[in-house]
């Protein structure tokens, strides 16, 4: 089966001469062609997990196994565009030779996918925050990734732009059939986007939910999602030491019937 298999992943940082354990044994399967959302409190290690999985940093222990060959692209909280390059050049930034030529032929198509046709020649300073973030997504897509790692990509956007971007991401994921690992603080965002939601606490996976199949429209006011939200809040609020029992986790899996 495709996707990413993570086993016993550990990572500590050295802070002022002392070892700070951040990830203390992450076991996780990230399915392919789905959106996996990582939720957790500030400082719990979400970004660290994303960076390790995407190969930006080395783990201290454990393994990250990709099924087959893979290409990973990143989208961060801020778009990180080059202000002196227009949209087209930003999208192709970092690509060379044949890859650049091939993606160059796809730029119009990619711009359509992210809803930015007609802006190929614009500069970042002429774009809104939401549009810049779409360029960052387009740049990730131009790389033809099998996996996109997204670290709170919509956190800086206003409510309505964020909603629009969430819808667009769902559309893009469907159109491109890519796999996405998505970090957020927002429970609603997780419920809207995630096929799988993973709660991280104290450097470990505390809880996993399988939510549903790709492509379904979700109404968060449905009882099912309200119940899920309540459950997620309870897990995020719980003090450490009161870890959920396996039985309880299995119960949730049965009830939701999603894939994990």
Ligand X SMILES: Nc1ncnc2c1ncn2[C@@H]1O[C@H](COP(=O)(O)OP(=O)(O)OP(=O)(O)O)[C@@H](O)[C@H]1O
- 146, 148, 196 from 142: Cα distances, Å: 11, 11, 25
Q: Which is nearer to Mg ion, 106 or 202 (CB)?
A: 202
The reply to whether 103 sits near ligand X by the rule CB under 6 A is no
| Closest CB to ligand X among residues 46, 195 | 46
In the complex, the smallest distance separating the C-beta of residue 227 from ligand X, rounded to whole angstroms, is 25
Q: Specify the DSSP class assigned to residue 12.
A: E
Separation between Cα atoms, residue 132 and residue 135, nearest integer Å: 5
Q: What is the distance in angstroms between the CA of the first residue and the CA of the last residue of the chain?
A: 13
Give the range of 42-50, 90-98, 128-136, 156-164 binding ligand X by CB under 6 A. 42-50
How does 59-77 read in b/e, with b if 16+ C-beta sit within 10 Å?
beebebebeeebebbbbbb
Residue 124 interacting with ligand X (CB under 6 A):
no
Least separation, in Å, of the C-beta of 12 and ligand X?
9
Which parts of 154-193 interact with ligand X (CB under 6 A)? 185
Q: Are 88 and 27 in contact (CB under 8 A)?
A: no
Beta strand 61-66 with 72-75 is unpaired
The residues that touch Mg ion, with contacts defined as CB under 5 A, are 47
Tell me if 47 contacts ligand X by CB under 6 A.
Answer: yes
Minimum distance from residue 46 beta carbon to Mg ion (Å): 5
Asked if 84 touches ligand X (CB under 6 A), the answer is: no
Contact 219, 213 (CB under 8 A): no
Taking the complex as a whole, the smallest distance from the CB of residue 184 to ligand X amounts, in Å, to: 9
Element (H, E) at 183: strand 179-184
Q: Which of 34, 46, 196, 235 touches ligand X by CB under 6 A?
A: 46
17 forms part of the interface with ligand X (CB under 6 A):
no
List of residues contacting ligand X (CB under 6 A) = 13, 15, 20, 22, 40, 42-48, 185
């Amino acid at each position: 089966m495709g996707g990413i298999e993570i086993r016993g992943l550990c990572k500590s940082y050295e802070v002022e001469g002392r070892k700070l354990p951040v990830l203390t044994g992450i076991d996780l399967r990230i399915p392919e062609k789905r959106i996996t959302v990582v939720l957790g409190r500030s400082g719990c290690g979400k970004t660290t997990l994303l960076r390790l999985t995407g190969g930006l940093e080395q783990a201290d222990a454990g393994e990250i196994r990709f099924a087959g060959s893979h290409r990973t692209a990143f989208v961060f909280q801020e778009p990180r565009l080059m202000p002196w390059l227009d949209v087209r050049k930003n999208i192709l930034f970092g690509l060379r030779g044949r890859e650049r030529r091939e993606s160059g032929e796809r730029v119009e198509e990619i711009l359509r996918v992210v809803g930015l046709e007609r802006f190929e020649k614009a500069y970042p300073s002429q774009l809104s925050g939401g549009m810049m973030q779409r360029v960052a997504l387009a740049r990730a897509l131009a790389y033809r990734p099998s996996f996109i790692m997204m670290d709170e990509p919509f956190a800086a956007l206003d409510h309505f732009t964020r909603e629009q971007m969430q819808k667009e991401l769902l559309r893009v994921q469907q159109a491109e059939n890519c796999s996405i690992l998505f970090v957020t603080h927002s429970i609603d965002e997780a419920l809207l986007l995630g096929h799988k939601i993973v709660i991280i606490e104290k450097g470990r996976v505390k809880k996993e939910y399988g939510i549903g199949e790709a492509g379904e429209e979700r109404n968060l006011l449905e009882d099912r999602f309200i119940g899920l939200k309540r459950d997620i809040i309870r897990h995020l609020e719980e003090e450490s030491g009161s870890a959920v029992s396996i039985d309880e986790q299995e119960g949730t899996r049965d009830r939701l019937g999603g894939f994990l």
